[in-house]
Amino acid sequence: MARAVPIDKLRNIGIVAHIDAGKTTTTERILYYTGRTYKIGEVHEGAATMDWMEQEKERGITITAATTACFWQRNGEKHQINIIDTPGHVDFSVEVVRSMKVLDGIVFIFSAVEGVQPQSEANWRWADRFNVPRVAFINKLDRLGADFYRVFKEIEEKLTIKPVAVQIPVGAEDNFEGVIDLMDMKAIIWLEETLGAKYEIRDIPADYVDKAQEWRERMVETIVETDDTLMEKYLEGQEIGVEELRKALRKATINRQLVPVLCGSAFKNKGVQPLLDAVIDYLPSPVDLPPIKGINPNTGETEERKPLDNEPFCAYAFKVMSDPYAGQLTYIRVFSGNLKAGSYVFNVTRGEKQRVGRLLLMHANTREEIQDVSAGEICAVVGLDAATGDTLSDEKHPIILEKLEFPDPVISMA
Ligand code: GDP
């Protein structure tokens, strides 16, 4: 089996935002820093890497659910991040729901000026319904009227999961320089606003020391509340190590008790690298989540599939697109087992055996042919006659993944 990284180093994420909060810009910066794009196109030029279709270019919004694989080093180890392109517009909420089913975590972007907007609330509640763990990124801190603390408070008051700031900003608006990492208690200051994105780790500036201490205390208190052992240590006045705190926050994020909050300005190239670190630190890999459930069509019984290579194959087709070069591309998320290029698969939804052509790992600017795809991974299949929403599985062990429901959004959308 040819995994690019072990399954615990894999993150399948979506980036979700109210329109204009900076999803496209943040996605492009992520692709740039992870080294997979060589040319960056600004949104207004209509050349965004994730915008595959002409129609999207015209509208400036992203409506397809292509995925892009990229790689990020954290703690000296290579991690793979698959970005599942979730649509941001409420008109396309059926697509939002479909993508929720295949992603394991979300980077939720808010504008530091506009704050929590109605569309953010609606999308947040969709994520609640699908139990998706989240980290939040308060973007546009360079803009006039940006206020990290106000938006943090809005998240606390309007949304369902308790936020915990793991950073606070240094400077604001035109003078936004960087962030204070409240875990390491260091300042990260960007040296330039261009794409080079060089930064320096410095001591906390003197006039931020009190504020940083106050917010660190708040962060520690919020985290220890989710962990009995740490709470005991805390009450006894013992020192709690950074790694213990990070681990507890990871667990609380995956259990959807807490949402780590970070900040920056994607446009000015500040804050995106620490955001990638946070994706690795706090969002789950496929093995951190419970097994997927489905119905065996022969027995009508509910069965589970664990994210293991030696389980029977099972995958969900979440997007079918026509591609100018390859013809029909079916994007699949594999939940268990593995699939080889050139083999056969059972389309349980249609009740027929189907041939699998080539398998492609889609990068921002290239596509890589792979020989097999394993539990937890996402790829595009060429030449499969499947429709969006089909379950594919091992013929001897058929399963239909729980039927997608489209419940009414909890709040009305303005
Ligand atoms: P999307 O609709 O969420 O994908 O948002 P875009 O990424 O297209 O951003 C909307 C507009 O805001 C574009 O003109 C961006 O250049 C701009 N923008 C995005 N991020 C920032 C930021 O951090 N600071 C500033 N000043 N502008 C930003």
pLDDT tens digit sequence for 163-181: 999 999 999 999 999 999 9
pLDDT for 414: 34
Contact 24 CB / ligand 1 (< 6 Å): yes
- Please tell me the least confidently modeled range out of 79-93, 101-115, 224-238, 367-381: 79-93
Residue nearest to atom 24 of ligand 1 (CA): 140
**C-alpha triplet 269, 57, 103: angle, nearest 5°:** 65
Contact 23 CB / ligand 1 (< 6 Å): yes
Tell me the H-state helices in 77-177. 93-102, 118-129, 148-158
Band (50; pLDDT cuts 50, 70, 90): very low
The Cα–Cα gap between 391 and 201 comes to 47
Contact 266 CB / ligand 1 (< 6 Å): yes
The 8-class DSSP code of residue 267 comes to T
pLDDT for 410: 41
Query: What separation in Å is there between the alpha carbon of 329 and the centre of ligand 1?
Result: 30
Band (405; pLDDT cuts 50, 70, 90): low
Q: To test the ligand 1 pocket, which listed residue (15, 16, 20) has its Cβ within 8 A of the most ligand atoms? A: 20
pLDDT for 1: 56
- Please tell me the least confidently modeled range out of 116-120, 152-156, 158-162, 287-291: 116-120
Query: What separation in Å is there between the alpha carbon of 224 and the centre of ligand 1?
Result: 35
pLDDT tens for 198-245 read 899 999 999 999 999 999 999 999 999 999 999 999 999 999 999 999
Q: Is the pLDDT of residue 49 over 50?
A: no
Query: What separation in Å is there between the alpha carbon of 140 and the centre of ligand 1?
Result: 7
Query: What separation in Å is there between the alpha carbon of 241 and the centre of ligand 1?
Result: 37
Q: Is the pLDDT of residue 39 over 60?
A: no
Percentage of the chain lying above the pLDDT 70 cut: 86
The amino acid occupying position 242 is V
pLDDT for 40: 40
Contact 114 CB / ligand 1 (< 6 Å): no
The 8-class DSSP code of residue 171 comes to S
Q: Is the pLDDT of residue 130 over 70?
A: yes
Mean of pLDDT values over 298-309: 94
Contact 142 CB / ligand 1 (< 6 Å): yes
Query: What separation in Å is there between the alpha carbon of 114 and the centre of ligand 1?
Result: 12
- Please tell me the least confidently modeled range out of 52-61, 118-127, 176-185, 327-336: 52-61
- Higher per-residue confidence, 120 vs 248: 248
Band (299; pLDDT cuts 50, 70, 90): very high
Query: What separation in Å is there between the alpha carbon of 42 and the centre of ligand 1?
Result: 9
Q: Is the pLDDT of residue 44 over 60?
A: no
Band (100; pLDDT cuts 50, 70, 90): confident
330 CB-near residues (< 8 Å, 6+ apart): 317, 319, 320, 380, 381, 384, 386
The count of other CB atoms within 10 Å of the CB of residue 159 is: 21
Mean of pLDDT values over 343-371: 91
Band (353; pLDDT cuts 50, 70, 90): very high
pLDDT tens for 381-392 read 998 999 988 999
Contact 17 CB / ligand 1 (< 6 Å): yes
Mean of pLDDT values over 132-146: 97
Band (61; pLDDT cuts 50, 70, 90): very low
pLDDT for 412: 36
- Higher per-residue confidence, 136 vs 98: 136
The mean pLDDT value of the chain amounts to 87
Is residue 214 a contact partner of residue 168, using CB atoms and an 8 Å limit? no
ipTM above 0.85, yes or no: yes
Sheet containing 67-74: which strands, arranged edge to edge? Answer: 67-74, 77-84, 10-17, 105-111, 134-139, 258-263, 162-165
Contact 258 CB / ligand 1 (< 6 Å): no
Question: Binding site residues for GTP, as ranges?
Answer: 17-24, 85-89, 139-142
- Higher per-residue confidence, 395 vs 364: 395
Residue nearest to atom 2 of ligand 1 (CA): 20
